[in-house]
Chains A and B, each alone.
Chain A
Amino acid sequence: DSGVTQTPKHLITATGQRVTLRCSPRSGDLSVYWYQQSLDQGLQFLIQYYNGEERAKGNILERFSAQQFPDLHSELNLSSLELGDSALYFCASSGSTSLSSYNEQFFGPGTRLTVL
């Protein structure tokens, strides 16, 4: 058990809908990362937050957004969903006390999103 929790575990929805994925990092970790994993794209970095502020952006679509709250949990919002958004979405956290990324990341179990 990595100490990172994600809810829900599975999510089935329709095209055009909006969903929210939730992540609670390990106790004390200030950095939260979101990733999308699909068969054709592999593991894609979406976005990173550090202590409530956005620190790095990857291949995140404009239809997607995220935030990190004062209690350090994070939410990833996916809107106007398309069939191609079906994937596993992982959250990870690390114990970075600075902006440096040399600390390893601890991954949650993921949320499997299916868009029908």
Chain B
Amino acid sequence: GAVVSQHPSRVICKSGTSVKIECRSLDFQATTMFWYRQFPKKSLMLMATSNEGSKATYEQGVEKDKFLINHASLTLSTLTVTSAHPEDSSFYICSATPLGQETQYFGPGTRLLVL
């Protein structure tokens, strides 16, 4: 149980284009999902907290207009990297917390490479 999926697993795009990453909780509902970014050999950094039916809460230093988050249902959150640049290349990981629990379950991650 508590499986989280992400799609795509990896994506290569040209600079200036937008990329959408989906995060789904497959066997549970989650009012809260989180988006992290991880650079090589570094720890995960929380980017934003996504709440179903409301606006996301962004961490300090994360541009909300660049990283658009939509949490349309209790099982789906999307992260759109708008006007991507090479410095946005990273490993993006989402997590979700089942209703009534405290544990975050993580997706497998999405590798983004911006050329």
Chains A and B belong together in one complex: no
